[in-house]
Amino acid sequence: MFFENRRFERYRTCIRVRVQVRGRDYDGFVLDISQGGMRVSTEQVADVWSGDDVRVECEELGLVTGEVRWRSPGRFGIRFDESTNTTAKFEHFRKHLGPVM
C-alpha cells in the first residue's frame, strides 16, 4: 500500500501557465495545485532541473515564484516560495476550485 504524506490538500485543475526557468519561457498547464505548490505539464521540460528557481504566471493566480522539486517526462513539480502574498493568491484561487482530490 502506498501512503502519501502531504502538508496540503491538492486540487485538480487545468489552467494555462507561462513558466520561466533559467531565463527561458515555457507554456504549460497546471494539473494539480496546493497551497504549497503545483504540478505542471509541458512538452518543453528538457532544460528544467530540480533545484531551479522558477516563476509561474497565469491569469488565475498572477505571478508566483518557487523551486522545481522534481521532473519526469513532460511534467515537473514546483514548491512555492513561502510568503503571505503567495498564500493569499492561492486562497483566493481555491475558492473557485472544485472538490478536493
The kind and range of the H/E element at 92 are helix 84-94
- The overall pTM is greater than 0.75: yes
Cell triple for residue 12? 485538480
What confidence tens digit (pLDDT) does each residue in 63-76 have?
999 999 999 999 99
Task: Taking residues 47-54, report their average pLDDT.
Answer: 92
Which domains, and CATH codes, for the chain?
11-85 (2.40.10.220)
